[in-house]
Amino acid sequence: AIVDNLGVAGEATPSGLSRLPTVIDITYDVVIILEGTNDTSGIFRTDTAAEQLAKAAAIASNLSAMVGEARAQGKKVVLATLPPTVPIQVADPDGYTRYRGAELSAILLVNAAISQIFDAYRDDPYFVGADVYRAMMDASGNNPASLLSVDGLHPKAEGYDVIANAIHAAIV
């Protein structure tokens, strides 16, 4: 099978949702959706629990709409959970320490919402969920920094292999 990566660096789910109809080609049989990590950087520890849940629900709503759009066009859909990240400390020019990348708690909130999408499509034979998060965690449940690049966000080649294998395992 040929896999084309049509992702856009830095894209958040609202942009992905609006762009999706323009990239679903008649030649594609399957659409793999692994999107939302960039959105999670907007879920902060300082947000209230209600704010965090609302932001996670908005991300999941966009993902669910993407699934619906692809299914409406007759495509098989694989929706993946978000992979773990490791926030990296960076110093701003103004002297403040900030973190780049999503907090693991934000990833877990969004993944819980994604699992609800899995449940909603459970009886659809043209939908499958792939648990990329679980595949990337080590046996102790620790974040697999060894699979991530130095930015703590993007996978190394080995991490991409784990993601591909998780998606493949979900499909077959």
Is-above-0.75 flag for pTM?
Answer: yes
CA 47 distance to own-chain centroid: 21
Q: Is it the case that residue 78 has pLDDT exceeding 80?
A: yes
Give the per-residue pLDDT at 150: 83
Give the per-residue pLDDT at 99: 62
Residue type, 132: V
Burial 70-109 (b: 16+ CB within 10 A, else e): bbeeebbbbbbbbbbbbbeeeeeeeeeeeeebbbeebbbb
Find the mean pLDDT for residues 64-68.
Answer: 97
Give CA separation, 111 vs 1, 13, 18, 19, 25, in Å: 28, 14, 22, 22, 28
Give the range among 91-95, 105-109, 148-152, 164-168 with minimum mean pLDDT: 91-95
Confidence of residue 23 (pLDDT cuts 50, 70, 90): confident
The size of the chain, in residues, is 172
Give the range among 28-32, 124-128, 148-152, 164-168 with minimum mean pLDDT: 148-152
Give CA separation, 108 vs 43, 101, 157, in Å: 11, 14, 23
Q: Is it the case that residue 138 has pLDDT exceeding 80?
A: no
In which region does residue 141 sit, left (phi positive, over 0), alpha (psi from -120 to 50) or beta (all else)? left
